[in-house]
Structure 1
């Protein structure tokens, strides 16, 4: 049955297989240095596809071995061994470490280097280190894994993307996310319309590793888009000379919210309303409704992966199909994904030409829930029922004028469940990322390669959202709807030479790269909508921009001790005028491998010691969808016409522009040390950096009449960031049966605006951070000398018992009056330091791992509490009452105190993000692994709100993250 099953799969993929059974060989493969078994070693008959891999205990069995066959034993990090078959029934192998492959290769952009030769701040995170569980968004795999990389998980919406910041970001109004490069294709930093996360096209199961480029010495080869760091994602490929393998992997999950916003229950609400003299208790209902219970549910999901892979001498392939379905904890929320991933490698002309084709196709379906229901559930009267048999709104209870007519109260909160269930919002994204890479070793110069990388990223998005006229939200005579259609296209062509040689007279290895890159981005958007009672066609919107680049890098390794690297990129962007279109981005770095010096080379303690330093310049051109230097005219919509006589004419509205806008420029200084002790059983690195961003792209106010608007994105100001990053790792135990490794990282960071305005006013600031409950009000500011996420508040005065005194604030300027001048910068949302800790234990076939993350020195403005004041409950413009946070019973504020620092709360936290246990069952014909994973397991914090991990520091209508439990099964044939 086993042979028939394998044969059927091979025929399916049109691949040959030999059925000439001869002899059988078995044995054990161990590590020569320690005697420990080595699982996963490829054992293959040379020149054939007949082979196997060692199990967890290093054991293998291979059949169909004939006389004069040669058995090849290979595994990454070990020297390959070849053993002639001479009739032995048992062959035990001890593999030696291969120093050439043990020094792991890392990508650095248009090339690769070894870890010991890297002079920039570069970190590789391999699949073995990834977070476990039912991971949908790829960035979740590396949360907490790298110093200097802060990944803030999204809210609870399925498939939603996390916020990624490398060294805190460098801009204000421009994009602060890193450039992401997938198999050599840089993705559009603006994202893809219609998808919750542009990275969801990449199946997490198919990712081989991430490489994070942090400093400009490493990132400047990407020039104009690298100010916020670069993440290189490499997907899995087939392995050379490996036997056919088929894998089925499934992960099933369930999840629930861990907490709810503390609001008044029905009894508390009735007591508060009846205790006030200016209220009408007859407006209260007879129900006892927990509206948060009404809108939330248990989420369920499953991820299926089917993978086939095989490698021959000159050809190898990997094919993966994945199906993902996940519901949200908020009712009506759904994410679905079907993806096909293909990787083909072909070597031609005696391996002088290497071709690699990767293609990732995805069909993504979304049902977007109306997240306004979250705020509605907090504010809706808990004494009212969910349903009303007399209601004209599909039977949902809604506040009506006098509660007797069919007219809804326009200003009243809407029924949260109706908000969800009467809302239809479906979208489908079809996307493909494909690239073909060719590497040709030129015959006339040894070590010279010519590389061509051609790729495209194409996506179509179409969808519709609507509400029926029976919805209380719709104030029109027809269904409210919108239909849309988008196209996103990204084309790439890279051509470059790479030359590697050894300059023998001076014992120097040279690695030189030079080339050209062209990338074009295109976006198209159209659709139609009701406005308000008419159907209007949306004017098609087209945006196209391009980048053309020339780049070069030279790296020298002198006597295997001294490292020198320099790069230069010359970028031109169509987003800027001809006067500002081109700019150069240089970088240089050095390193010293002290462990290769005579005084350390034979050290029994120090196995690695390298110091390095670098300087580089990068840019940022992500200023939004339009060309900032060109005047844009927007056609008027229906109803916005100008009258001449009896005729109405549509108009063109000129938009703001700055003809002198240019690159945002960043200068980066980095110094680091890498170390390892006791044959690298304990290893780590320390980096210190200083970054200065000038010609800051920021949206600032401009004087009336100076432009076509009072707000303009232009080059103004400067920011400085500095920090220290520490990464530590160690094998605390290493034996045949028990292994224990621990990895820890911590990052200290500081960001500051050092210049902001075009003038010299030291008190100039720009309000930021809009808050709920007060239209147009803000709680943060940009101001010279402060972090970009600093809060802007009055300092609350307290009585002798520690209770806040309503309306009493500190008179900062001493003028005996509380005015806007007494509102002060205070605390910030960004942390002083954050950390991650990963622990992995293996005992025989059992493994256990967990990941902690922590953040310290950060604060959150609790907007759900600041909306809680007594007048908000008992005084409404129509005859209804709204619920509030239970904090109203503590503060006893009668009127709103939105700008009090009473609501700025410490948000330090430690989270047990991930806990996983697994077991490998050792069967002869099938490798079987079962695992159980819990995510978002535990949060330790003093923050009074729902979750302390809020990226911008304003807690308002937050979609709660769920705690998930995942059962995983993996079968490999």
Structure 2
């Protein structure tokens, strides 16, 4: 007998195959990890999606686990922060979590083997530090019935990772390796000028009298044409990827263990740096020394090293340089030094001589002990935590080009940060059955503490050109540091009542105390949930049906909280300084709010799970409403404390509504050949119902707006009315709907229905297997989201062409009366007050960022014992070929999968980050090819 496992959106169906042509199937009593408990599938009343490790295993080892989840679960919108190896993700479960404009603000809560890691970007780093080869499965808890038991942490959903455990039997040893390469995806829907095109463009601009363009002699032009080359090939490369993993699993009836070690390397697509390396190890042990006592421990370690690029909109960014450098400018000067080009900066030299490195060490671990006090009554205590040390070093080497510009004789910045978090959870679980009645009551007490310390030192003026450590800097420049701490204490209960696996009711309640909130609101309101499920196919009148094999109806309502906030929004902090030689102290400009409290999400969910023809066709449907209130809003220029002060307050509410659908089918299912298809999709609607008293709208950043009654972060721009066909001038709509040829930023208006938030997203794919051969393909898609394309504006803007290369279609500008579908005439100097020239910030460059992407294709062949022989000391060998991001269909001009537009302008403290708001030269997505070998002994 052989056994195969079929997976789709949280539903596992076990098919048992006999040697005869007839195939019998039966549904096993599946187990779903809900966080604090494990439940059979029949007992689950909430919206939970389970993703198997197998469906994530085909991705590059430098693809973080959160990114690999993209398109795998309905209602879960994930995009990589950018394409850099080791980059994290932006994750929205069931829409926008809140309106906080910082990276990670909408993160779900992360849980690893029952250990609560947290719901901030630090927690995502810990989650992603675990090698995906160590995953068993991931449960995504989406509604209040599933997440309310996490109280103040579960407002944006919960991602529960279960790592691999040992199995009874002789040890199984697995060796796997993958090698391959990646390259930047080709520019989509545009092309840059070559040397001949750019020189011709410059001549025309000079002829139009545009300042900054220089004349070309025939000699200079011929020499420049001979230099024609593609800067993308000079600055970028195909990366080298390698991954090695060894794992051991085994055990017996009393104890089980698993152990793994891994090494991953991806040097990235930028020359002169090594983008990412990591070393991982993980150990898990579980024991049952008696019928009453069980205990276990899991420990993981991750050490990663990365070299960074300057992710900002200037000439130090290699991804701007590949477009800005002119194709007729050489890489090197005649003397062999790097050519700074018209941009005035040699980025290839800077990648060597201005290194920036991040080394990160993460230890995570948890231990638990469980004791059966009486029949049905069990006590469990668990202690889990992580330690994360991050060291960041930035250098400007003495004698480098940037050193010459700055005139500092070299500099070094050393930053060191230690993060430590632990959680102690204690539960008392009572389970009792009376005939067809079953009760499950769980009581919870939990304590969490988090500490963070940071120190940074900057030195300049190196004593020796060959030494660049902080101790060799003869001029101390700056020292700074801080310590942070918060604590939470929680208690709650979770009740499940089940009648004969037909009718299931659950209820939960939890209350938290958190030191991050104001002294008047340290204790939260109770977070609660109620839910019910009806397993219709367990009813007598449905038994024996040859058509309907599964039908379960679910409904839930409840509240959840949000505590992913800054550690000192509630406190009045003091800043030290100097006045001359005298020390001074003054209140911090962010004035603490002693009344600050939790954001609260009230959720409703109505869903169904169904299967037909012995679950050959199966799926889920869910409709939800999430009403978020009291979200935390940063208010600048707080009037009560004077214009210099700001404060964070609770204000307003936000509503997310949506419909989630998932469907899979086994089209062909025979002894040797299986073909299945799958798809999931989510329809989203967002509305900002209220901002704060006395304020109905506000501009966020420079091109987005929050306005009551509209989608959050809708774009706020001056509208282009095209061009005047008679003179070629660009025409703009005024705020009141008129037209003008004079640009005025005050004519910006909110563009209804146009925001960075997708209205539709999901994934679809297919799997084939024939004997030892298997094939899998997955697509992801988004629709209805918009991104402002600053890159397009720069590449078409004639005012930038004096020093930068241009897109080929920049030459398609107005030249003759009657033309309309062209760019405005370049020599218009009257389109803005003060004679500002060039293309202006209008909705001309706001682009539909909808796309469909071929995310992953994998083909493999498995040689089992039947093929390699029973005497050969190997259980199986699998060979595979995998490709990622192989094709993209979009109208967007560039990479449409935008999250971070410009890292150093969005992701720092106090900066404004709106996921997908604009594109501006961040690390692009890459196309990856991998060859893999896996051997099991």
TM-score by length of 2: 0.85
Q: 1:699: how far off?
A: 2.2
Counterpart in the other structure of 2:804: 882
Contact 1:780 1:791 in 2 (8 A): yes
CA distance in 2, matches of 1:903, 1:414: 28
1:514 corresponds to 2:443 = yes
Q: 1:630: how far off?
A: 0.5
Counterpart in the other structure of 1:878: none
Contact 2:442 2:495 in 1 (8 A): yes
- Alignment partner for residue 173 of structure 2, among 226, 229, 246? 246
CA distance in 2, matches of 1:165, 1:270: 46
Q: Secondary structure at the match of 2:178?
A: strand
Contact 1:380 1:414 in 2 (8 A): no
Contact 1:147 1:835 in 2 (8 A): yes
Counterpart in the other structure of 2:52: 126
CA distance in 2, matches of 1:467, 1:968: 40
1:186 corresponds to 2:127 = no
- Alignment partner for residue 916 of structure 2, among 919, 944, 952? 952
Q: 1:604: how far off?
A: 1.8
Counterpart in the other structure of 1:47: none
1:363 corresponds to 2:363 = no
The change in CA–CA distance for 1:282 and 1:478 in structure 2 (over 3 A counts) is farther
- Alignment partner for residue 68 of structure 2, among 141, 144, 157? 141
Q: 1:138: how far off?
A: 1.1
Kindly provide the CA deviation profile for residues 853-892 of structure 1, in whole angstroms up to 9, marking residues without a partner as x.
Answer: 11111222111112245552356xxxxx233444532324
The change in CA–CA distance for 1:98 and 1:807 in structure 2 (over 3 A counts) is closer
Counterpart in the other structure of 1:177: 107
Contact 1:440 1:451 in 2 (8 A): yes
Q: 1:903: how far off?
A: 0.6
Q: Secondary structure at the match of 1:618?
A: strand
Contact 2:457 2:479 in 1 (8 A): yes
- Alignment partner for residue 732 of structure 2, among 809, 819, 822? 809
Q: 1:693: how far off?
A: 0.9
Contact 2:732 2:739 in 1 (8 A): no
Please give the residue correspondences for 1:265-344 in structure 2 after superposition, counting only pairs within 5 Å: 265-275=194-204, 276=206, 277=209, 278=211, 279-281=213-215, 286=224, 287-331=227-271, 332-344=273-285
Counterpart in the other structure of 2:925: 961
Q: Secondary structure at the match of 1:329?
A: coil
Q: Secondary structure at the match of 2:200?
A: helix
Q: 1:431: how far off?
A: 1.4
- Alignment partner for residue 504 of structure 2, among 563, 576, 580? 563
Q: 1:804: how far off?
A: 11
Counterpart in the other structure of 2:153: 225
Kindly provide the CA deviation profile for residues 407-451 of structure 1, in whole angstroms up to 9, marking residues without a partner as x.
Answer: xxxxx5422212322221222222111111112111xx3111111
Q: 1:819: how far off?
A: 5.0
Kindly provide the CA deviation profile for residues 161-193 of structure 1, in whole angstroms up to 9, marking residues without a partner as x.
Answer: 122211113201171011111111222433349
Counterpart in the other structure of 1:600: 542
Please give the residue correspondences for 1:664-743 in structure 2 after superposition, counting only pairs within 5 Å: 664-704=599-639, 706=641, 709=644, 711-743=646-678
CA distance in 1, matches of 2:341, 2:399: 14
CA distance in 1, matches of 2:13, 2:847: 50
Q: 1:709: how far off?
A: 3.8
Counterpart in the other structure of 1:541: 482
CA distance in 1, matches of 2:565, 2:79: 23
CA distance in 1, matches of 2:178, 2:897: 29
- RMSD of the TM alignment (CA)? 2.9
Counterpart in the other structure of 1:856: 783
Q: 1:599: how far off?
A: 2.3
Q: Secondary structure at the match of 1:920?
A: strand
- Alignment partner for residue 663 of structure 1, among 577, 594, 598? 598
CA distance in 2, matches of 1:292, 1:96: 57
Q: 1:694: how far off?
A: 0.8
Counterpart in the other structure of 1:920: 862
Contact 1:160 1:197 in 2 (8 A): no
Q: Secondary structure at the match of 1:867?
A: helix
Counterpart in the other structure of 2:720: 796
Q: 1:798: how far off?
A: 2.6
Please give the residue correspondences for 1:335-734 in structure 2 after superposition, counting only pairs within 5 Å: 335-349=276-290, 351-371=291-311, 372-389=317-334, 395-398=337-340, 413-442=344-373, 445-474=374-403, 475-504=406-435, 507-530=436-459, 534-583=475-524, 584-624=526-566, 626-636=567-577, 641-643=578-580, 647-649=581-583, 651-652=585-586, 654-656=588-590, 657-704=592-639, 706=641, 709=644, 711-734=646-669
Kindly provide the CA deviation profile for residues 802-825 of structure 1, in whole angstroms up to 9, marking residues without a partner as x.
Answer: x99644112341567675553222
CA distance in 2, matches of 1:969, 1:804: 65
CA distance in 2, matches of 1:344, 1:234: 14
Q: Secondary structure at the match of 1:866?
A: helix
Q: 1:531: how far off?
A: 7.1
Contact 2:856 2:882 in 1 (8 A): yes
| Larger Rg belongs to | 1
1:153 corresponds to 2:77 = no
CA distance in 2, matches of 1:436, 1:397: 58
The change in CA–CA distance for 1:376 and 1:700 in structure 2 (over 3 A counts) is farther
CA distance in 2, matches of 1:501, 1:513: 12
CA distance in 1, matches of 2:345, 2:571: 43
Q: 1:575: how far off?
A: 0.3
Contact 2:532 2:555 in 1 (8 A): yes
The change in CA–CA distance for 1:153 and 1:816 in structure 2 (over 3 A counts) is closer
CA distance in 1, matches of 2:338, 2:31: 61
The change in CA–CA distance for 1:390 and 1:141 in structure 2 (over 3 A counts) is closer
Contact 1:303 1:324 in 2 (8 A): yes
CA distance in 1, matches of 2:611, 2:629: 37
Q: 1:355: how far off?
A: 1.2
1:839 corresponds to 2:772 = no
1:935 corresponds to 2:846 = no
Contact 2:451 2:483 in 1 (8 A): yes
Q: Secondary structure at the match of 2:228?
A: coil
Kindly provide the CA deviation profile for residues 10-30 of structure 1, in whole angstroms up to 9, marking residues without a partner as x.
Answer: xxxxxxxxxxxxxxxxxxx2x
CA distance in 2, matches of 1:903, 1:804: 22
Q: Secondary structure at the match of 1:575?
A: coil
CA distance in 2, matches of 1:453, 1:95: 44
Kindly provide the CA deviation profile for residues 72-114 of structure 1, in whole angstroms up to 9, marking residues without a partner as x.
Answer: xxx99699xxxxxxxxxxx99x999776xx1311111211212
CA distance in 2, matches of 1:680, 1:955: 44
CA distance in 1, matches of 2:88, 2:439: 41
Contact 2:244 2:263 in 1 (8 A): yes
CA distance in 1, matches of 2:85, 2:839: 35
The change in CA–CA distance for 1:653 and 1:477 in structure 2 (over 3 A counts) is farther
Q: 1:937: how far off?
A: 0.9
Counterpart in the other structure of 2:35: 109
Q: Secondary structure at the match of 1:374?
A: helix
1:822 corresponds to 2:747 = yes
Counterpart in the other structure of 1:55: none
CA distance in 2, matches of 1:902, 1:949: 18
Q: How many equivalent residue pairs?
A: 846
CA distance in 2, matches of 1:273, 1:98: 72
The change in CA–CA distance for 1:930 and 1:824 in structure 2 (over 3 A counts) is same
CA distance in 2, matches of 1:915, 1:573: 46
CA distance in 1, matches of 2:203, 2:540: 86
